[in-house]
Amino acid sequence: EAGVAQSPRYKIIEKRQSVAFWCNPISGHATLYWYQQILGQGPKLLIQFQNNGVVDDSQLPKDRFSAERLKGVDSTLKIQPAKLEDSAVYLCASSLAGLGGANVLTFGAGSRLTVL
Partner 1 sequence: GNSVTQMEGPVTLSEEAFLTINCTYTATGYPSLFWYVQYPGEGLQLLLKATKADDKGSNKGFEATYRKETTSFHLEKGSVQVSDSAVYFCALTGGTGGYQKVTFGIGTKLQVIP
Give the residues lining the site for partner 1 (CB under 8 A): 4, 31, 33, 35, 40-45, 48, 50, 55-56, 91, 93, 98-110
| Rounded least distance, CB 98 to partner 1, Å | 4
Per-position DSSP letters for 25-94, written without gaps between them:
--TT--EEEEEEE-TTS--EEEEEEETTEEEE-TTS-TTTEEEEEGGGS-EEEEESS--GGG-EEEEEEE
| Rounded least distance, CB 77 to partner 1, Å | 16
- For the chain, the straight-line distance linking the first and the last C-alpha, in angstroms and rounded, comes to 37
Nearest to partner 1 of 43, 65 (CB atom): 43
| Rounded least distance, CB 48 to partner 1, Å | 7
Nearest to partner 1 of 14, 54 (CB atom): 54
